[in-house]
Structure 1
Amino acid sequence: MMPRHWSRRFATSATVLGLAAALLAGCGSSGKPKPAELGPNPGLLGVRQVWTAKLGEVGYPLDVQVTGQQVALASSDGTVLALDARSGRELWRASAKAKLSAGVGSDGQRTAVATQANEVVVFEAGRELWRQKLSAQIATAPFVAGGRVFVLTADRSVTALDGASGRRLWTQQRPGDPLVLRQSGVILAVGDTLLVGLSGRLVGLNPLNGQVRWDAAVATPRGTNDVERLVDLVGRVSRVGDSVCVRAFQIGVGCVDAARGNLAWTKPSQGYAGVHGDDRMVYGPESDGKIVAWRRSDGERAWVSERLRYRQLTAPLALGRSVIVGDETGLVHFLSREDGSPLTRVSTDGSAIAAAPVVAGDTLVVVTRNGGVFGYSPE
């Protein structure tokens, strides 16, 4: 599991949520809220398990990376693995020779992870190409694109490294905050612009030199102490064309027009896991397990489901007619995109789902804390 301590620079999301839970407990609650009863499995959607694979324990903010039919993932002990999503067949396996703090980034050719010693390690077809040590901790998977590896670090800096050699190309740094989350942040590309989450802002950078092209405020700090003023954008994100929608930890959800750098809308939302969606809706879980659907056009709520309350949900995946989330008991829930009603659910190995579900080709891929990797074929 994630470390429970916090330092001058890092705070875990579990720590912040734990403080909130303690305050609630002091107001009359007795311990952890009881998860909602699920009732019988409705079985309204056919989901067939097609393969399984095994990875080591996953206790860090894993980002499962999909490139075509290839799925790249990594365990806490530094094992990095590439699988064929159609069969679950292992394509290659390698080791970073150190415990990981973030991963995985890949463009299908090069695959990158970050270690707890602040090193970025890059592999090609299972062979280590290079490793480069940075000056700050890394909790967000490196982003690999355009022959470069882009790294977002805890001191609010973005560094571009040459994909072939690891040579530093440029660094863009913002003033650091007293605390940032030990949770996956936001870094992606839209067209020829690199988008990064810096505090509560989504910033568009020129990937060639790091110069700022635009800066959109999704959320602003509030409160009187460092914990209350903690603002971070967290992964995953929902991108449809130039529309990029993100979650600001425990503050709100918002969408930005990445072509112009304008904030389209922002709405209050108490959540810590990212969002996903389609051209109509953006979906995301609240901290208490409610799942909300916002209209992508204006941010108004379309529906709210309370059927999975207090189940410690992952970020969702919008796929077919479903919104798919994992929970802390190893269940994967399929809800209707139209109203949040349950369609079906499947079980894994009983340990918590460790990362947001992903889709590669026609295969849904789910990873658990105990290192189980499951491939499903949804209807």
Structure 2
Amino acid sequence: MRLRLGHFTRAACVTALAVGLAGCSMLPNLPFFGGAEKPKPAELPPNAALIAVRPAWNARVGEVNLPLTVNVNGSTVAVASSDGTIAAIDGATGRDIWRTNIKAPLAAGVGSDGKLTAVVTRANELVAISGGTEAWRQKLGAVSYAPPLVAGGRVFVLTADRAVSAFDGQTGRKLWTQQRPGEPLVLRHAGVITAVGDTLVVGLSGRMAGLNPLNGSVRWEAPLASPRGINDVERLVDLVGSVSRVGDVVCARAFQANVGCVDAGRGNLLWTKPANGAEGVHGDDKLVFGSEADGKVVAWRRESGERAWVTDKLQYRGLSAPLALGRSVVVGDNTGLVHMLSREDGSMLNRLPTDGSPIVAAPVVAGNTLVVVTRNGGIYGFVPQ
């Protein structure tokens, strides 16, 4: 029997959710244990407002209780809520381009190439939408927490049983499945699935793998982290969240283990460094940025992996994955605040309020607009000036 878990530390399962995969029974929520009081979030100084930002617009979807990835194509932002609402929004105005509800709660989303949009339901269905109208749906062999990748006229899905599948974008016909041996536990968290040139790059346990998108054959594998410990919880390792890609180099996080970079053109591991976090990374051609489990924000030098800086000014504030944006690094916290830090040293540049509920996905940029989404379904557009 295979299980999947929500976020947890290796010392204690914190707000963990253990649920059987397809055909297995559901287990009760695991309680918090360990005895320690929850650390007090860092107090925030007065807002320096050293970089000018104006609120541009706000919109809404339903409550977001899924591992959401906000998708951007040009100036179009695709978002989804737990109740099955999917919307394509104009990043300049915040107005709907289209909006639909597929009448099924969602487990993962959103993937889109700007024409076809795909999500996964909790009933393990892959659903494709074209222009706001459902195009097709297909049953999956297991649940998926990673947003589907829509590219090259195909839809690629990474499921929690360590299988990667490809579907024809027009008809939904399954083209191939690459099944790998699975571990007893996987994270209830968005995994890694992206395209680099003509290679499909996915996270399989602690490895980054390059697949042939035409047939699923493995071209290369690069280990970012290896299982350790004596039980299934301690040995769990997964690549999580957003990645930072510059050219052929893809940098990613292995859950509570390492951050590392791989040359996806050759399949070579360039470097790994210890890092204790659960959210993805972002960066530019010089630096890779990540938020750690304790709320520290770290910048690693992209060439070597050496630390450029670290700041604890947002410690224990429950940070999202970051976004590198101009001279700033943008992260959201679990009180709905959006923090803009200096790319050079991590000092605070500005702080932006939303609706007070947690920022649930990595911030994105659409055209000139910074976009964030909250747990309560608020979608906020800000324009740096």
TM-score normalised by length of structure 1: 0.95
Contact kept? 1:9, 1:154, Cα under 8 Å: no
Select 2:6's aligned residue among 6, 12, 15: 12
* Alignment-derived partner of residue 28 in structure 2: none
Instruction: Please say if 1:370 is aligned against 2:376.
Output: yes
Contact kept? 1:318, 1:324, Cα under 8 Å: yes
Superposed counterparts of 1:24-173, under 5 Å: 25-26=34-35, 29=36, 31-173=37-179
Give the distance between the partners of 2:86 and 2:14, measured in 1 at CA: 35
Contact kept? 1:73, 1:80, Cα under 8 Å: yes
Give the distance between the partners of 2:258 and 2:282, measured in 1 at CA: 14
Select 1:225's aligned residue among 217, 224, 231: 231
Per-residue displacement from partner, 1:40-59 (whole Å, max 9, x unpaired)? 00110111011110110000
Gap runs ≥5 in structure 1? 1-6
Give the distance between the partners of 1:315 and 1:245, measured in 2 at CA: 13
Superposed counterparts of 1:149-298, under 5 Å: 149-298=155-304
Q: How many residues align?
A: 370
Give the distance between the partners of 1:14 and 1:249, measured in 2 at CA: 10
Distance apart, 1:19 and its partner CA:
2.7
Distance apart, 1:20 and its partner CA:
6.9
Amino acid at match of 2:72: V
Give the distance between the partners of 2:290 and 2:360, measured in 1 at CA: 17
Give the distance between the partners of 1:340 and 1:207, measured in 2 at CA: 39
Per-residue displacement from partner, 1:348-373 (whole Å, max 9, x unpaired)? 00000011100010000010000000
Contact kept? 2:262, 2:269, Cα under 8 Å: yes
Secondary structure of the 1:228 match is helix
Distance apart, 1:15 and its partner CA:
7.1
Per-residue displacement from partner, 1:242-300 (whole Å, max 9, x unpaired)? 11000000001000001110000000001001100000000001110011100000000
| Runs of 4 or more above 6 Å deviation | 20-24
Secondary structure of the 1:185 match is coil
Per-residue displacement from partner, 1:32-76 (whole Å, max 9, x unpaired)? 100001110011011101111011000010000000111101000
Select 2:324's aligned residue among 318, 323, 332: 318
Distance apart, 1:101 and its partner CA:
0.2
Contact kept? 1:57, 1:371, Cα under 8 Å: yes
**Identity of aligned pairs, percent?**
66
Amino acid at match of 2:214: L
* Alignment-derived partner of residue 364 in structure 2: 358
Gap runs ≥5 in structure 2? 16-30
Give the distance between the partners of 2:12 and 2:33, measured in 1 at CA: 10
Per-residue displacement from partner, 1:198-255 (whole Å, max 9, x unpaired)? 0000000000000111110110000000000000000110000011000000001000
Give the distance between the partners of 1:156 and 1:335, measured in 2 at CA: 36
Give the distance between the partners of 1:294 and 1:82, measured in 2 at CA: 34
Contact kept? 1:252, 1:270, Cα under 8 Å: yes
Give the distance between the partners of 2:219 and 2:107, measured in 1 at CA: 29
Contact kept? 1:9, 1:177, Cα under 8 Å: no
Give the distance between the partners of 2:58 and 2:260, measured in 1 at CA: 36
Contact kept? 2:300, 2:306, Cα under 8 Å: yes
Per-residue displacement from partner, 1:150-179 (whole Å, max 9, x unpaired)? 000011000000001110000001001100
Superposed counterparts of 1:314-353, under 5 Å: 314-353=320-359
Distance apart, 1:25 and its partner CA:
4.8
* Alignment-derived partner of residue 310 in structure 2: 304
Distance apart, 1:14 and its partner CA:
4.1
RMSD: 1.5
Contact kept? 2:7, 2:13, Cα under 8 Å: no
* Alignment-derived partner of residue 4 in structure 1: none
Contact kept? 2:149, 2:156, Cα under 8 Å: yes
Give the distance between the partners of 1:16 and 1:102, measured in 2 at CA: 24
Contact kept? 2:76, 2:366, Cα under 8 Å: yes
Give the distance between the partners of 1:161 and 1:13, measured in 2 at CA: 30
